[in-house]
Chains A and B, each alone.
Chain A
Amino acid sequence: MNLEQIAAKIRYTLCDVSSKTKTPHLGSSLSCTDILTALYWQVLNVEPSTPSMPSRDYFLLGKGHAASALYTTLAYRGFYPVADLYQHGQTDSVFEEHPGINSPKGVDTVSGSLGHALSLATGMALTCKIQKRTNRFYVLMGDGELNEGTIWEAAMFAAGKQLSNLVAIIDFNKLQGTGESCEIMHLEPLEEKWRAFGWHTIRLDGHDILAISDALKGAQSYDKPVCIIADTIKGKGISFMENDNNWHYRIPTQDEVEKAKQELGLK
């Protein structure tokens, strides 16, 4: 199975799980599927059989409402069976709508309140530098999440300490909860903003898995933190969901799931 096929399967499962468990945030999850595929199949030093391996790389999901994307990626990566995903959002399930402290294997931190992950990862990356450990830290944030002031506190701090073991990835799909992110706040020019904050910045197509993989691997060669601004489409891969912000909350019917499956080229 090539990476695009993996991403397609993740996308279908996201839709099916959302439909069957009545859990929202499909648009946000579809938006970052290719980034997660690149990370978990090409970049991260993780071992599904040993999720707490001390030398592992850490992935922190800033946009916690895309929990389903992370859970589904980890399932296909072999951390637990795909069938388990259908417990999403149910009582006593480890697959909470936002990752909690009882999260499934492979999820290291709580998420759901925006603007925490970059600060957490900054503390982790700083500490590993002090401890002379080689772990690397990857944070995925939404463009709406950049509204939070703590992002910029962490950005200044991480650059000040030249945390070269830290990578931020912006899932820049141009839409947030209730509107267009570039209208709600003045986000652009995003690369220049992060560069001005002291980061090495790269802008790329957030649905080009190979380009994302190359950029993430290349990020290791800089002596400062790296920010990858990934241009993405909310609802990517399913025509009737793309750029339609109703899918921030809408739940697909089973007919819509079947339609999605066909569009994704899956039998």
Chain B
Amino acid sequence: MRNAFANCLTELAKSDTSLMLFYADIGNRLFNNLKEIAPDRTINAGIAEANMASMAAGSAMMGQKPFIYTITPFTTARNFEQIKIDIAYQNQPVIIVGTGSGLSYANLGPTHHSFEDIALMRSLPNMNIVCPADSDELSVLMPQLIKLNQPCYFRIGKKNEPKVHKILPDLKFGHAYTMQEGQTVAILATGTIMPLAHDLLIELQSKGINAELVSFHTVKPLDTQYLALACERFEHIITLEEHNVNGGFGSAVLEYISEQPKTPRVHRFGIPDRFIDQVHSTEDARKKAGLTVLDIITTLKNRAVI
């Protein structure tokens, strides 16, 4: 997904001179093409993420539409207060890109995991949050975020994420995208966890449950129009994310649904409220976190959902 990001930005920056990139000394060679077409606008900010966030806000105040880019914890948590004051409060159109989100860098340990970033960004007024599931979702949504001209958090993966759509999806910022219509149970997933959500759908189908699968690429603003209807249509809503179950996408869904007149049960699946360490791969880490089809099915059985 990071290659798709670099390619997409390079293409868009050719004609839009307001676009510029600040990156915190990562992505060796990733931005070479961008540097060629826009050397002045491709800025290595050094390993100084707090300064990078404020500089991008300053740049936006001068009329640019900057991106800031580094590994997720360093572009969201390390510099959170700069994002709060200089980007969100001053409402500057900076797109904060978190690469390698969730468990993408599982083997690098908790320093490189991000299970708190959505919670942090959700708590900021003016902030939009978009989590593409694959490179197609990224390339469809990115021009829309630029056009939005508002603070935005763009939570992306690492590389070689499996494609989740057969054709380029017609995604609209702020609108949930239904990949498979169903009844009784809805699976709402955001970001790189989508292939697992798809596997879960297949498993439920094999058990005779006609579930719905939805890509909730936009976490904020939450598509309450979809959710309001979902409250009428479903008895159970399953949320899936590579983020702490507390404070993330599932929490956002739960908060909304809890205040509706008809409330389906919400089953949140994500990272349990603990650090995940001593793992070799994303797959390992998901197992440790209980993020497997088997674990989810077991929980759903225990809760008499299926």
A residues with a Cβ closer than 8 A to B are 100-101, 108-110, 112-113, 116, 119-128, 130-131, 133, 149-150, 153-154, 156-157, 160
Q: Check B45 for interface membership: any CB of A closer than 8 A.
A: yes
- Inter-chain CA distance A94–B31, complex, in Å, is 43
Chain B interfacial residues counted at CB < 8 A: 28
Closest chain A residue to B45 by CB distance? A157
Closest chain A residue to B53 by CB distance? A119
Structural contact, B85 and A154, CB atoms closer than 8 A: no
Q: Check B186 for interface membership: any CB of A closer than 8 A.
A: no
A–B Cβ pairs within 8 angstroms, 10 of them = A108-B61, A110-B86, A119-B58, A122-B54, A123-B62, A126-B59, A127-B58, A127-B62, A154-B51, A157-B45
Known: A156-B46, A156-B48, A157-B45. Contact between A128 and B54, CB under 8 A?
no
Structural contact, B51 and A124, CB atoms closer than 8 A: no
- The residue from A108, A110, A131 contacting B89, defined by CB atoms under 8 A apart: A110
Residues from chain A with a CB closer than 8 A to the CB of B82 are: 116, 119, 150
Residues from chain A with a CB closer than 8 A to the CB of B58 are: 119-127
Structural contact, B61 and A124, CB atoms closer than 8 A: yes
- Inter-chain CA distance A156–B52, complex, in Å, is 12
Structural contact, A113 and B85, CB atoms closer than 8 A: yes
Q: Check B63 for interface membership: any CB of A closer than 8 A.
A: yes
Say what secondary structure dominates the interface of chain B.
helix
Q: Check B231 for interface membership: any CB of A closer than 8 A.
A: no
Q: Check B43 for interface membership: any CB of A closer than 8 A.
A: yes
Q: Other than the known A126-B59, A157-B45, what 9 A-B pairs have Cβ atoms closer than 8 Å? A: A110-B89, A119-B55, A120-B54, A120-B58, A126-B43, A127-B20, A127-B62, A130-B41, A156-B46
- Inter-chain CA distance A87–B162, complex, in Å, is 59
- Measured CB to CB, the closest approach of chain B to A48, in angstroms, equals 20
Structural contact, B62 and A150, CB atoms closer than 8 A: no
- Inter-chain CA distance A47–B90, complex, in Å, is 23
- Inter-chain CA distance A150–B49, complex, in Å, is 9
Closest 3 A-B residue pairs measured CB to CB?
Answer: A123-B58, A123-B55, A119-B54
Known: A130-B41, A153-B48, A157-B51. Contact between A120 and B86, CB under 8 A?
yes
Structural contact, A127 and B86, CB atoms closer than 8 A: no
Structural contact, A153 and B40, CB atoms closer than 8 A: no
Residues from chain B with a CB closer than 8 A to the CB of A153 are: 46, 48, 50-51
Closest chain B residue to A115 by CB distance? B50
- The residue from A110, A112, A130, A150 contacting B51, defined by CB atoms under 8 A apart: A150
Closest chain B residue to A122 by CB distance? B55
Residues from chain A with a CB closer than 8 A to the CB of B50 are: 119, 149-150, 153
- Inter-chain CA distance A125–B59, complex, in Å, is 8
- The residue from A116, A128, A156 contacting B62, defined by CB atoms under 8 A apart: A128
- Measured CB to CB, the closest approach of chain B to A148, in angstroms, equals 9
- Inter-chain CA distance A108–B60, complex, in Å, is 13
B residues with a Cβ closer than 8 A to A are 20, 40-41, 43, 45-46, 48, 50-51, 53-59, 61-64, 66, 81-82, 85-86, 89-91
Structural contact, A154 and B55, CB atoms closer than 8 A: yes
Closest chain A residue to B61 by CB distance? A124
Closest chain B residue to A128 by CB distance? B62
Residues from chain A with a CB closer than 8 A to the CB of B20 are: 127, 130
- Inter-chain CA distance A150–B83, complex, in Å, is 13
- Inter-chain CA distance A110–B86, complex, in Å, is 8
Closest chain B residue to A117 by CB distance? B54
- Inter-chain CA distance A131–B58, complex, in Å, is 13
- Inter-chain CA distance A126–B61, complex, in Å, is 12
- Measured CB to CB, the closest approach of chain B to A90, in angstroms, equals 21
Structural contact, A123 and B90, CB atoms closer than 8 A: no
- Measured CB to CB, the closest approach of chain A to B79, in angstroms, equals 9
Structural contact, B46 and A131, CB atoms closer than 8 A: no
Residues from chain A with a CB closer than 8 A to the CB of B81 are: 113
- Inter-chain CA distance A127–B56, complex, in Å, is 9
- Measured CB to CB, the closest approach of chain A to B131, in angstroms, equals 26
- Inter-chain CA distance A116–B90, complex, in Å, is 12
Residues from chain A with a CB closer than 8 A to the CB of B91 are: 101
- Inter-chain CA distance A132–B43, complex, in Å, is 16
Closest chain B residue to A113 by CB distance? B85
- Measured CB to CB, the closest approach of chain A to B70, in angstroms, equals 14
Residues from chain A with a CB closer than 8 A to the CB of B61 are: 108-109, 120, 123-124
Residues from chain A with a CB closer than 8 A to the CB of B43 are: 126
- Measured CB to CB, the closest approach of chain B to A22, in angstroms, equals 25
- Inter-chain CA distance A247–B43, complex, in Å, is 43
- Measured CB to CB, the closest approach of chain B to A161, in angstroms, equals 8
Residues from chain A with a CB closer than 8 A to the CB of B40 are: 130
Structural contact, B56 and A123, CB atoms closer than 8 A: yes
- Inter-chain CA distance A128–B132, complex, in Å, is 33
- The residue from A112, A121, A127, A156 contacting B64, defined by CB atoms under 8 A apart: A127
B45, B55, B58 pick with most chain A CB within 10 angstroms: B58
- Measured CB to CB, the closest approach of chain B to A191, in angstroms, equals 22
- Measured CB to CB, the closest approach of chain B to A15, in angstroms, equals 29
- The residue from B45, B62, B66 contacting A131, defined by CB atoms under 8 A apart: B62
